[in-house]
Structure 1
Amino acid sequence: MRRSFEMYPLTKSIFFGCFHCSGISRNLPKAYYCTNLRTLGKPNVNVENMRGFAKVQSLSQHYYRSTRKGTLSSRRPVSTSPGNTQSSIERKHQKSPSKNKSFVPRKMLILPKVTRFSFEKGRFPDLSESELRRKLAERGSDYEHLVERHSVHLKNLQNLVEKLEETGASVKVCTNMKDFTEEAVDWAELVISAGGDGTFLSASRKVFGDKPIIGVNTDFVGSEGFLCLPRKYSGNITKALKLMESGSYRWRKRARIRVTVKGGDTSHPIDLYDEDLTFSDHRHLHNSERQKSLERRLNGEDSEEHIIPIRALNEVFVGESLSSRMSYYEISIDNGPLEKQKSSGITICTGTGSTSWSFNINKLSYQSVEEVLKIANRQTGSNYSTNQESVKTVADSFNGRLLFDPRVLQMVYSVRDPVVYGIFQVRKPRGFARKITIRSRCRDACLTVDAGTSYLFNDGALATLEMFDEDAIKTIEMVE
């Protein structure tokens, strides 16, 4: 296990409670967080081996934090650049950034987003403008609004290309994912996604090694752009280029998940981006591949291990293709024993993905916290405050702990709607892991990477999920 969070070995201490509110953790990086009162009361305990203590990871689980009032105002990761809110430990120990070498890319590759208007035009290429307008109106969609957002994107894309070409660089724009090939990525010195987070995820699938990638948000109304450059740089790429030229930037890594499959078919993935254009039922596509996979397995062709050629920047989902069907599988966490589970599927996310699907699966609503506090008061005779401010503080403290540093080589798994009865037990429906092994017992299941590429994953197939330094993508953070 990496111990980057132990760079400043001060004294060891023990404290109980939520360290988001504790002044102790600010001054003791090598502190221990007691998870319950029972373990706190044990005498002569060896804290290094205690299961009741969780080491505070100042640069991992708590890289994200709530605002000073304890509110989680958005799902955007907190930047470590000067001037932004940081955790106290990071602010105290972070070294002043040394100036990087001048970075002036001369060959840049752009992958633009597919706007909703382009998407609909692609689905219905034979319809005239009036026919498309009428069809969208029947579905409750605003044709004029889609055209407006499409125009905004095109205008900003054109401006981006012009500003890049003014530097004398060679700029290539991919018209679709088919043009965004490995050869094109190899040619580029800098890969740029022009769109929102979905476009960034699409672009990152082909990026490996030290090839840098940045995201430029081309529509702040239609896209969140958490993974993109901030607005002041997305709207002014010239400023960002000048900072890179002067060395005023930081290299930032985002860890990704590597998936190795044995006993399954990884040679015929389904590209969900392409299939969405045909509005097809992905489950039936998997059914046709299922029969072919059975034939290949009978011929001994699926017995070898295969590393899936793309890495997961956000998350991996494993479960039945039909959402109403229960997913059955066996799972091992960090080389532990296999545990039989039934659920609505399982997600395994990175630090980048901890702000997305995983966060929304596990977060506590204010309503739930209020109801739990009221039950606790009735059952235990306690007098916990249930006013709006107190409920908000508790919920935001819990939700803030769900997020962690994108650089850290660890994953978080979340079992969705676990079924617990008889032989099926889910002792820990959520947790951190370095290695996860899943054996499918499903009938028509998929293993989906970043909601973009789906692989057949049926009974007997074995998937191992791990993280390695060499699989991380390299991004840029500007420093002023």
Structure 2
Amino acid sequence: MTKRKSSRGAGFSPARVLVIVKQTMKEMVEASQDQRLKQLLDSESPDRERIIASDQDHRLTLEHVVNVLTDRGITCRCIERAPGESFKVEEDMVITIGGDGTFLDASHSIQGDIPVLGVNSAPSSSHGHYCLTDRSGFEKTLDGILAGSIKFYPLNRLRLILDGETLPVPVLNEVFVSHKCPAGTTRYKLTIGELTREKKCSGLIIAPAAGTSGFNQSAGGVLLDITSRKIAFATLAPFRPPGSDSDLLRGYIKGGSIVTVVSEMVQGAIYIDGAHISFDFPRGAVLTVDSKAPSLNAFINPRCHSRYGETAG
């Protein structure tokens, strides 16, 4: 079935590729029954031109990727991803066509040593931190992968254990613990090593290294190299009355360490890599976080986090 070789060998030669395609805003608007949403494509809408241009860029990117794969003798299967929906990967490699959301959604279904390449389909409107290339550079990037000059790297993912049961979703970007209502207070007990502290804030972010340049860094968290095994954590808008301690507000721990969070909220929730996947986290529930989830093999620039600032390794 496969012609795959090690990423550290002469090259990586997939026989079959699964292409994950995002739904564009234009497609979403056209399929919606919401009249306010449909107004985005009205002739007088200031957003119409941007939405149509982004959709066209996306379609051209998909067509180009499929054509290049076909020219190289690689069989491809294309599926449109639904946010939060899982799928089975039977191919040798996965290519995502979209932005970071598409890449993250796809990552949850990728197990084993199957590598993934992100292609940003519309750079003018879509952020592609996890995307190594776009339409203009895809052919050169693919040839580099086939020749062995472009390698994949294992990205650390977090395992979540909720009340003794392992959740089925490995975390690539971050797990966010918070009250279900954004205006509600997030309350929990946090244990790292031998230190336990009660916290009140607007949320707790726990991120593997790959996700530290996003929500974590925006909340004042530590930036790590994307290939690091360390785990970062950051408290969002902590409540700090006079005389309160500043322990466990933000920092990072070694990859083999464990983070334990006990909910003190009646209506708490755990969000994984965004808003699409969540679990209830009621009072007394216990969440354990470690780095024992299978890593994700991704074609990325191992130095990409340096553009966001100085890393802590």
Q: TM-score range by the shorter chain?
A: 0.7 to 0.9
Q: Distance in 2 between matches of 1:161 and 1:257?
A: 32
Matching of residues 119-134 of structure 1 within 5 Å? 119-124=28-33, 134=39
- The verdict on how the C-alpha distance between 1:119 and 1:332 changes in structure 2, with shifts beyond 3 A counting, is same
Q: Secondary structure at the match of 2:283?
A: coil
Contact in 2 for aligned 1:436/1:465 (Cα 8 Å): yes
Show the counterpart of 2:64: 159
2:261 matched to 1:438? yes
2:155 matched to 1:254? yes
Letter in 2 for 1:316: V
2:224 matched to 1:360? no
Contact in 1 for aligned 2:177/2:270 (Cα 8 Å): yes
2:295 matched to 1:472? yes
Show the counterpart of 2:168: 309
Contact in 2 for aligned 1:104/1:241 (Cα 8 Å): no
Contact in 2 for aligned 1:174/1:180 (Cα 8 Å): no
Q: CA deviation at 1:178?
A: 8.4
Show the counterpart of 1:457: 281
Q: What CA deviation, in whole Å up to 9, does each residue of 1:108-131 have, x standing for no partner?
A: 001112222222233328x6xxx9
Letter in 2 for 1:241: L
Letter in 2 for 1:349: A
Matching of residues 105-254 of structure 1 within 5 Å? 105-124=14-33, 134=39, 142-177=47-82, 181-183=86-88, 185=89, 187-231=90-134, 234-254=135-155
Q: What CA deviation, in whole Å up to 9, does each residue of 1:101-157 have, x standing for no partner?
A: 3211111001112222222233328x6xxx965366699751232112111111111
Unaligned 5+ residue runs, structure 1?
A: 1-97, 263-304, 364-401
Show the counterpart of 1:320: 179
Matching of residues 329-368 of structure 1 within 5 Å? 329-334=188-193, 336-362=194-220
- The verdict on how the C-alpha distance between 1:448 and 1:424 changes in structure 2, with shifts beyond 3 A counting, is farther
Contact in 2 for aligned 1:326/1:342 (Cα 8 Å): yes
- The verdict on how the C-alpha distance between 1:413 and 1:156 changes in structure 2, with shifts beyond 3 A counting, is same
Contact in 2 for aligned 1:342/1:424 (Cα 8 Å): no
Instruction: Give the TM-score of the pair, scaled to structure 1.
Output: 0.56
Contact in 2 for aligned 1:249/1:478 (Cα 8 Å): no
Contact in 2 for aligned 1:340/1:425 (Cα 8 Å): no
Q: Distance in 2 between matches of 1:310 and 1:106?
A: 27
Show the counterpart of 2:309: none
Report the structure, 1 or 2, having the larger strand content: 2
Q: Distance in 1 between matches of 2:51 and 2:143?
A: 34
Q: CA deviation at 1:176?
A: 3.0
Unaligned 5+ residue runs, structure 2?
A: 1-6, 303-313
Q: Secondary structure at the match of 1:465?
A: strand
Q: Distance in 2 between matches of 1:244 and 1:145?
A: 33
Contact in 1 for aligned 2:83/2:105 (Cα 8 Å): no
The aligned length equals: 292
Instruction: Give the TM-score of the pair, scaled to structure 2.
Output: 0.84
Q: CA deviation at 1:332?
A: 0.2
Q: What CA deviation, in whole Å up to 9, does each residue of 1:64-84 have, x standing for no partner?
A: xxxxxxxxxxxxxxxxxxxxx
Correspondence for 1:405 among 225, 243, 253: 225
Letter in 1 for 2:265: C
Correspondence for 2:9 among 97, 100, 107: 100
Q: Distance in 1 between matches of 2:43 and 2:281?
A: 37
Q: Distance in 1 between matches of 2:300 and 2:121?
A: 18
Report the structure, 1 or 2, having the larger helix content: 1
Q: CA deviation at 1:340?
A: 1.3
Q: CA deviation at 1:427?
A: 2.2
Q: CA deviation at 1:455?
A: 0.6
Q: Distance in 2 between matches of 1:139 and 1:306?
A: 52
Q: CA deviation at 1:414?
A: 0.8
Structure exhibiting the larger radius of gyration computed from Cα positions: 1
Contact in 1 for aligned 2:40/2:48 (Cα 8 Å): no
Correspondence for 1:428 among 248, 256, 262: 248
Q: Distance in 1 between matches of 2:136 and 2:298?
A: 18
Q: Distance in 2 between matches of 1:229 and 1:439?
A: 38
* RMSD of aligned residue pairs (Cα, Å): 2.8
Q: What CA deviation, in whole Å up to 9, does each residue of 1:225-269 have, x standing for no partner?
A: 1211134xx42433223222222222311111110010xxxxxxx
Correspondence for 2:235 among 406, 409, 415: 415
Letter in 1 for 2:173: N
